[in-house]
Each structure stands twice: as C-alpha cells, then as structure tokens.
Amino acid sequence: MNVLHRTWEKLIAQELEKNRKEAKKKWQPRLHIAPPVGWLNDPNGLCQYQGLYHAFYQYSPFDAAGGLKFWAHCTSKDLLHWNFEGVSLAPDESFDCHGVYSGSALAEEGQLTLYYTGNVKQTGEHDYVRTGRESNTVCVTSRDGIHFGEKKLLMRNENYPADLTCHVRDPKVWKEDGRYYMVQGARTAEDKGVVLLFESADGLNWKSLSRMETEKAFGYMWECPDLYKIDGRTVLSISPQGVEADGLNYNNVYQSVTTFLEGDFRSARMNGVFRELDAGFDFYAPQSFETEDGRRIQIAWMGMPDADEYYTNRSLEEGWQHTLTLPRELSVKDGILCQNPVRELDMWWNISMPFVNTYSGAIENCFELELSEVGERISLTLAGGLTLAWEEGEGIFRLEFTDDNLGAGRTRRGRKVEKLRDLRVIVDVSCVEVFIDGGRDVFSTRFYPEGEGCSIELQAPGSRGRIRTHRATAQDQAENPDSSKRQNMTAKRADVRRADKGAWQF
C-alpha cells in the first residue's frame, strides 16, 4: 500500500465520520445500494465469492456532484441488505491517477480478481478523446474478498487496435472452457461504438481476439459491455452514447440496450437489432454476474450521466447522489430478455394486503404493489404526483410526473405494451422500479416524496392484486438495530377515496 493510498484512506475516513455525525438520511433507500455521502455511478465487480455477494461501485466520496473516481465496496448475504465495507480501490498509481474507472470481478477458488480501467489525463492541449488520455487495463487480487494487494498494469493504449480513439474502457472478464475472456467498450477514430474481445490463458496476458460492431454506427461510443449466456441465448449488453431518440425509444441522454448474438461469440456477427433494457429515467451501465446457484443477476446504476440539464436528484441537498437498482434476475421468455427483482425480495415481504379493482390509502415508504390480474385499464398515482397508466386499445404503458418537486424535472416516458398481464411496482423511499408483464418491460425512476409515507391511488377495474410490506422482525433488530427503527410506519388503509383524476395527457 503506497503513501497516496494511505492519504486517501485518511481523508475518506474523515469524510465518512463527518457524515455519520451529521446523519443526513433523507431519501436514503432501504434496499437499494446508495452512497453514505458523495456520488455513486456504475456498479462494478459484481460477484458471489465464498458465499458472500459483493457489489462495488464508482464512487466520488468528496463531492456529491461527481469528481475523482474510487471503488466503494458493499457486501450482502441476501442481495437486499448491504453492508458498506468502505473504499477498496483508490487512484493512487501513475496508471490510474485520474480515476479508478469501471470494471468487473472474477471469482475463482481462493482468489477474487478485479479488472478495471485506470484513467489518466495527460497535461497539455488535448481533447481527451483523440489525444491526451491513457486507458489502462489493470487488475488486483484478494484472498479474503476485502483486502486487495498490488495493482498490476495489464494493457495500455498501444495494446488496443490502432484505429481507436483513446476511449477504451470497462473490462468485463469471465472464464469459459478453461480460458479467460474480456470485453471492453471503445470509440473508433470514426466515432463508432464497438466492443473489443480479448482472450487469455492465465487472466494476465491478454491478446486481442475480435471486435463486435454493427454495420452502421449505433452511437459514437459503447460503454460498459457485458456478454453472457442465458437460456440458450448469448446476450451482448452495451451502454451506447450518441443514439438519437426514436418515438418512445431512446429518450434519455444515453441508453442501455441488449442484442442476441448468433453463433460462437468469438466470431459472432451483430444483427443490429437492439432492445432498451429500461424505459424509465434512471438506468445506465448495467452489469451482471452468475450466482453460485446458477442465476444470472443484473444490477445497474439507477442514474443517468449528463442528465442535469433535464432532471436532477434532490438528495444532492443532503450531500449524496444516486443509487443502484435492485438486483434483477434475468431470463429469456418468448425471445425477450426479461428482468425481475431477485426472488429474495419475494420472501422478505411479510405483510400482504389483497385488494380488487381499487386501492386508496397511505402506506409506509417501502412496499411492493402487485397486480396479478389486470382489466382493461389501470391508473396508479404514487405520492400524489407520479402516475403509471395503461389502457387496452391504446397499448402504451405510461409513466408521468405531474408534480415537478416529486420528479425534480423528470416528465414522462412510455413503452408499447399491447396487453398488460401483470405488474409489479416496487417503491423504496426515493426509488421506483416497475416490472411489466413478467419483466418484459421495466421502468426505473427516482422520485422525491416529502414526509414519512407514500400515498397510493389505484383505479384498475377488473384487476386483482396485493400490497406487500415488511414489518420488522426480531431477526432484523438483531442484525441491524438502526434500520429497523427507521421502518414501519404501520401500513394503514385510508377510507378516503378521491375522485378519479380524469383523463391522462401524454
């Protein structure tokens, strides 16, 4: 550990201690990973190692509006309750001094290896796209999953194909049939997003194998690539930048999409057919990993880079910004990649209130509303200013903010949904995730309700469903005395039924 590392450690410890004393907890979710103080972006290094789940994330501890990037570290036994382990990677070497950028984890017998991009901005006159930036591929290992050793520089710009800009980053590594593979996102000199595939026999010495790209450019840069096999399909997941809005699709500043690769991934051709992973305001840079019981789990940044011009996060006033999404289980159904909250969540809710057709009331601010049968239309308003609506015939699922304080600039999003068969809406204080039709479509958004609870107004003739919450148990108290105090404004159904809010404008 070098001097710079020790200095960062001391400064971060001071920042965390100051924050602990001030105890600003407004809008902090209960189940979503959020930074204790400062800024969070991409999930990194997701894995299960020696039985414990690990999630790292891009972290700027000193500035909630973003800045120099570190890796923060959280661990969990159940994918729902995360323990903050502190900052494990800091920009403390000449090859990562302007940011320990995104990357992944490889969990092997007795060793956890993290791969990441060491970002360096050279001094002088540069645009930092074509010149002036080093994108170094670095790895670091740990035996216990908590303490990491010496960083090893594996590849520099000159090891990448010559027709690229200096934007090459976000190594995602996996092992298959005894060999190691790595994908990285890149921007070519012609401003085309591509994925680079590398191969290695030992995880340390890498050689460039092939490239995945579309015939026509789909954005100028592809960030945070991921490649995995699931239900007999090979999925390539990318976060492209520079894709134009197209009707209901691609309305955010940047996107996250998947495509199915046909044939062997080492030489696969891309067909240029992409599907957005999420139709909400806050979803970017997803990463997946495989659990020891064989599930493919994905977590994304529940935020959006460069969105401040359009919408913001009110938690900035509290000294922190952004969260990750809930972990989602992936599967392929009828040729569509579906995302559903991890099954652990299902088991965690321990109170269930069934309803038919309507529901109106105030409830605590962490709950799930589920419709298992849906009639011809639904309209659900949360916290008096976020409406989710769908109507048969029109075939569009809509999410709209009618209260600007609640949405902090977020307006409306929609997605074609011909037939709504079921719906799961998960509200966790300031995070809302909406799973439609078995997870075929998902909307993720942040919102900023005032007060302790959340009001629910549901009109859904012909529907049947339930609201689930979690009442603190003795086990919660034992495991986390602090958090169980914060929860459970006991769910109460209000008798007041407000008049229908009227027609929905998009």
Task: Summarize as ranges the residues that interact with ligand FRU (CB under 6 A).
Answer: 41-42, 58, 69, 101-102, 117, 169-170, 223-224, 284-285, 305
Residue 344, H or E segment: helix 343-348
Nearer to ligand FRU, 170 or 441 (CB): 170
For 154, residues 6+ apart whose C-beta sits below 8 A from its C-beta are 115, 136, 137, 138, 139, 204, 205, 206
Nearer to ligand FRU, 218 or 390 (CB): 218
Which of 369, 428, 435 has its CA nearest to residue 31? 428
Please confirm, yes or no, whether 42 is among the known catalytic residues: yes
Rounded CA-CA distance 239/167 in Å is 14
Output the smallest distance, CB 441 to ligand FRU, in A.
23
Rounded CA-CA distance 139/325 in Å is 26
Output the smallest distance, CB 223 to ligand FRU, in A.
4
Output the smallest distance, CB 44 to ligand FRU, in A.
8
Rounded CA-CA distance 70/449 in Å is 30
Nearer to ligand FRU, 42 or 457 (CB): 42
Output the smallest distance, CB 433 to ligand FRU, in A.
19
Measured in degrees and rounded to the nearest 5, phi and psi for residue 166 equal -80, 5
Q: 84 and 103 in contact (C-beta within 8 Å)?
A: no
Number of H-type helices and E-type strands within the chain: 5, 32
Nearer to ligand FRU, 39 or 53 (CB): 39
Output the smallest distance, CB 42 to ligand FRU, in A.
5
Q: 89 and 100 in contact (C-beta within 8 Å)?
A: yes
Question: Over the Cα atoms of the chain, what is R_g?
Answer: 22
Rounded CA-CA distance 329/350 in Å is 21
Output the smallest distance, CB 41 to ligand FRU, in A.
5
Nearer to ligand FRU, 69 or 415 (CB): 69
Nearer to ligand FRU, 304 or 371 (CB): 304
Annotated catalytic residue, options 42, 96, 226, 476: 42
- How would you list the strands of the sheet with 233-241, edge to edge? 221-230, 233-241, 257-261, 275-276
Three-state SS for 442-470 is EEEEECCCCCCEEEEEEEEEEEEEEEEEC
Residues noted as catalytic: 42
